[in-house]
C-alpha cells in the first residue's frame, strides 16, 4: 500500500486501495462519526452507508449507537454488531490513532464476519498510515489558517477600525460577505495538555465547516474555538443546535471520556460587520450551557437571554449574596420544594393567575392559596412589580449558583 504524503487525496487514495484489496466498502469517519472519506460500493452497502455517503453523516441515532459501544477507547479492531432497527449491517471498526490521540475511525462492512486475521492486520496497518496522513493534514491546516485566524480574532475582538480592516481581509481571502453571520463558541476542558485541547478543537471546527453548505472561519486558542459562519439567509436554529451537539460529542470523544465540552450559539446578525455582537452572545451562551444543566451542554443565546446580565458577572462576583433573603426563606421552608416552582412559573408568566394555573394543572383557588403562602413566607407583596423583579432575578441567580456547585 503506497503513501502519497502531501497530496490532497492521500487518505482517499489509501482507502480506495484498501477497498479494492478487500473487495469491501470502506469509510473513514472523524471521532464524532462524520464522514471524511468513502470508497465506491461493493454490493455490500446498507441504508446507513448510502445515507452517510450522500449526506456526509450517518445520522445522530447511528452515531450514538456506534460511539455508545465505546469505540473511542478501543486500541485495535473490533466489531460493531448489526442493528436492524437502524438498518445497520455489522462492521469492523479500527480506531485511527496517533499515540493516545483519536483522529478518526476506519470502518469496513463485514456483514457475515468473514474478515480473516490477515485482513484485520492489514486494516490495523492501514489505520496507522491514515493516522499519519490525518496528523499531517491537521498540521498543514494549522499553518495555512494562522493568517485567517488572526483576521477573525480582530473581527470579533478589535475596535471599529480593526474590525473593518479584518472584514476586508477575510473577504479578500475568499470568505463571502453574506447577509447573515453567526458565531458559535465551543469550550473544552480535559485532563490533557492545553495545546492538545486546542488542536482537537481546531480540527473539529474545520471539519464542521466542511460539512453541508457552511462557509466560515474558525479561531482556536486557550481551550476554546470560535466559528464565524456566514449565510445568505437566516438558518434553522434547531438544526444548528443538533449540529452543535454532534460537534460537542465529537470533541468529547477525541479528548477522552473525562472531557467536559459546552457549546454556545450567538444570535444571527446582519453580516460580518456585526459578528462581534454575535461572538459576545456566543460566549454568554457557552457559559449558560455550562451553568444551566437543563440545556444539556448546548445553548443558544436566546435560550439564556434571561440570565444574560448575571452571566456577564465574573465567577468571583457570582455569589450567594445575589439571592435575596426573602427568596432564601422560601427555598429553606419545608414547603419550598413545592412553592419555588410555583413562584418561578408565576413570575415567568408575568403574574398571570389563569396561565399559571393552567401550566401547573391547578385550580385557581389552590393557586391563590399557594401565592398567599409565598407572600407570608417571603414577606413580599406579589402585587408590587419591583418586588416581583427582585424575586425573579434572585431565582435566576440561584439557578446559576446551583449549576456551578
Q: What pLDDT is stored for residue 385 in this prediction? A: 92
| 64, 52: one domain | yes
| 28, 108: one domain | yes
| 300, 183: one domain | yes
User: Is residue 154 assigned to a domain?
Assistant: no
Q: If you write DSSP's letter for every residue of 347-377 in order, what string do you get?
A: HHTTT-HHHHHHHHT--HHHHHHHHHHHHHH
Instruction: Give the helix ranges, DSSP H, for 273-381.
Output: 275-291, 301-304, 308-311, 325-332, 336-348, 353-360, 364-378
Per-residue pLDDT of the chain (405 residues; tens, 9 = 90+): 333 333 447 899 999 999 999 999 999 998 888 888 999 989 998 999 998 888 778 888 999 999 999 998 898 999 999 999 999 999 999 999 988 888 999 999 999 999 999 999 999 999 999 999 988 877 766 665 678 889 999 999 999 999 999 999 999 988 998 999 999 999 999 998 888 898 889 888 888 887 766 789 999 988 999 999 999 999 899 999 998 998 998 898 888 878 899 999 999 999 999 999 999 999 999 999 999 999 999 999 999 999 999 999 999 999 999 999 999 999 999 999 999 999 999 999 999 999 999 999 999 999 999 999 999 999 999 999 999 999 999 999 999 999 887
What is the pTM assigned to this prediction?
0.75
User: Is residue 375 assigned to a domain?
Assistant: yes
CATH number at residue 354: 1.10.10.2840
CATH number at residue 211: 3.30.70.270
| 300, 329: one domain | no
> What number of residues does the chain have?
405
Q: How far apart are the first and last CA of the chain?
A: 53
| 324, 263: one domain | no
* Half-sphere exposure for 319 (CA within 13 Å, toward CB): 3
Which secondary structure element, helix H or strand E, spans residue 128, and what is its range?
helix 117-157
User: Is residue 245 assigned to a domain?
Assistant: yes
Q: What are phi and psi of 372, to 5 degrees?
A: -65, -40
Where a domain ends, among 83, 109, 137?
137
- Domain residues for the domain of 215 are 175-311
CATH number at residue 107: 3.30.450.40
Q: What pLDDT is stored for residue 212 in this prediction? A: 64
CB-based contacts of 370: which residues, under 8 Å, 6+ apart?
338, 339, 342, 362
The total number of structural domains in the chain stands at 3
Are 191 and 100 in contact by the 8 Å Cβ rule? The answer is no
| 185, 215: one domain | yes
| 233, 181: one domain | yes
Amino acid at each position: 500500500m503506497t503513501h502519497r504524503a502531501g497530496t490532497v487525496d492521500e487518505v482517499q487514495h489509501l482507502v480506495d486501495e484498501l477497498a479494492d484489496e478487500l473487495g469491501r466498502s470502506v469509510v473513514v469517519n472523524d471521532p464524532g462519526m462524520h464522514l471524511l472519506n468513502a470508497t465506491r460500493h461493493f454490493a455490500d452497502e446498507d441504508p446507513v452507508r448510502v445515507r452517510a455517503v450522500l449526506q456526509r453523516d450517518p445520522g445522530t441515532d447511528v452515531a450514538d449507537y456506534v460511539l455508545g459501544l465505546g469505540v473511542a477507547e478501543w486500541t485495535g479492531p473490533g466489531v460493531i454488531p448489526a442493528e436492524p432497527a437502524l438498518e445497520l449491517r455489522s462492521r469492523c471498526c479500527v480506531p485511527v490513532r496517533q499515540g493516545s490521540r483519536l483522529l478518526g475511525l476506519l470502518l469496513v462492512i463485514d456483514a457475515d464476519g468473514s474478515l480473516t486475521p490477515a485482513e484485520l492486520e492489514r486494516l490495523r496497518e492501514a489505520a496507522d498510515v491514515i493516522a499519519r496522513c490525518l496528523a499531517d493534514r491537521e498540521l498543514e491546516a494549522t499553518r495555512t489558517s494562522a493568517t485567517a485566524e488572526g483576521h477573525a480574532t480582530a473581527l470579533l475582538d478589535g475596535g471599529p477600525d480593526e474590525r473593518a480592516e479584518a472584514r476586508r481581509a477575510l473577504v479578500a481571502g475568499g470568505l463571502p460577505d453574506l447577509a447573515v453571520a453567526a458565531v458559535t463558541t465551543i469550550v473544552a476542558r480535559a485532563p490533557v495538555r492545553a495545546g492538545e485541547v486546542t488542536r482537537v478543537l481546531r480540527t473539529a471546527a474545520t471539519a464542521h465547516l466542511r460539512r453541508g453548505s457552511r462557509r466560515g472561519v474558525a479561531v482556536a486558542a486557550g481551550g476554546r474555538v470560535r466559528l464565524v459562519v456566514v449565510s445568505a439567509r437566516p438558518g434553522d436554529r434547531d438544526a444548528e443546535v443538533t449540529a452543535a451537539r454532534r460537534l460537542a460529542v465529537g470533541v468529547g470523544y477525541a479528548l477522552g471520556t473525562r472531557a467536559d465540552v459546552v457549546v454556545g450559539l450567538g444570535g444571527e446578525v446582519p453580516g460580518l460587520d456585526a459578528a462581534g455582537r454575535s461572538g459576545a452572545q456566543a460566549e454568554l451562551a457557552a457559559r449558560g450551557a455550562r451553568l444551566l444543566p437543563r440545556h444539556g451542554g448546548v445553548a443558544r443565546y436566546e435560550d439564556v437571554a434571561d440570565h444574560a446580565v448575571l452571566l456577564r458577572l465574573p465567577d468571583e462576583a457570582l455569589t450567594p449574596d445575589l439571592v435575596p433573603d426573602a427568596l432564601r426563606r422560601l427555598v429553606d421552608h419545608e414547603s419550598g420544594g413545592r412553592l419555588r416552582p410555583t413562584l418561578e412559573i408565576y413570575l415567568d408568566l408575568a403574574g398571570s393567575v389563569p396561565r399559571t394555573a393552567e401550566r401547573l394543572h391547578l385550580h385557581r383557588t389552590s393557586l391563590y392559596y399557594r401565592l398567599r403562602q409565598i407572600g407570608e413566607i417571603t414577606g413580599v407583596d406579589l402585587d408590587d412589580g419591583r418586588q416581583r423583579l427582585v424575586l425573579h432575578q434572585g431565582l435566576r441567580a440561584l439557578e446559576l449558583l446551583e449549576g456551578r456547585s
